[in-house]
Amino acid sequence: MAIRKATDCHCPLTTPLPSTYPPLAPSRLGGVAGTRKTPSFNAVQRVPYFIDHRTLKCVRYRHEELSFTRGTSMAIMNFLSDIRNAAIANAVIVVFHIYIAFAVEGVSFLVIVVPVGVLIAAAYFIKGKIGAALLALPTLGYLLVVPDMIEALTTSGGDDDVGWVVYILAPFWLFTIVLNIMSIVAEVRGTSKYAKD
């Protein structure tokens, strides 16, 4: 049995293209009809691409995975840089210290807590660079007590005043400081979602 060559197959990919095409019909404008040149193909058109269903599915899944990851990262960054979320976290700390003022420290402790609450409430409603400046004032005060919080976390038995609650309060307070810093930077740089308001 004779082996057929590749050129014997009438495959559209292996059949050579004709050098010329049939002559054109005479032009209505009286021009002389010429011959068509061989159409040119670029490199992309010459190479056939065969993508099976599995490959296409993998590509689509990878695209969706990247889109989901990118969207999740953006959502987290928007949450962390939102000055209103930072203000709400600060409000939780203020409410807890109001309780400490009545239960442990005394009413005179409200002289410190109430102004901090006013600054946080103003930052929540004003936003922008002014809100960032208002939020920066209590944040500077928080940084002064960071060594005490770390010491309370590393001491067995918890804090003398709040006991084991310090293991919940201190991490939340540190997280609030991070929220404050990121929201302040976002408002100053004008990259927050409230920048256009």
What is the share, in percent, of the chain residues with pLDDT greater than 90? 35
Burial class (CB in 10 A: 0-12, 13-18, 19+), 105: middle
Asked if 109 and 90 count as a contact pair (C-beta separation under 8 A), the reply is no
Other beta carbons within 10 Å of 124: 19
What's this model's pTM, rounded to 2 decimal places?
A: 0.62
How high is the pLDDT of residue 65?
Answer: 67
Task: Identify whether the C-beta of residue 56 lies closer than 8 Å to the C-beta of residue 157.
Answer: no
Is the predicted pLDDT of residue 170 greater than 70, yes or no?
yes
Query: pLDDT tens across 130-157, in order?
Result: 999 999 999 999 999 999 888 888 877 6
Q: What is the pLDDT of residues 103-136, one digit of tens each?
A: 888 889 999 999 999 999 999 999 889 999 999 9
Q: Are 188 and 136 in contact (CB under 8 A)?
A: no
pLDDT in tens, 29-69: 444 444 444 544 444 444 444 556 677 667 676 666 667 67
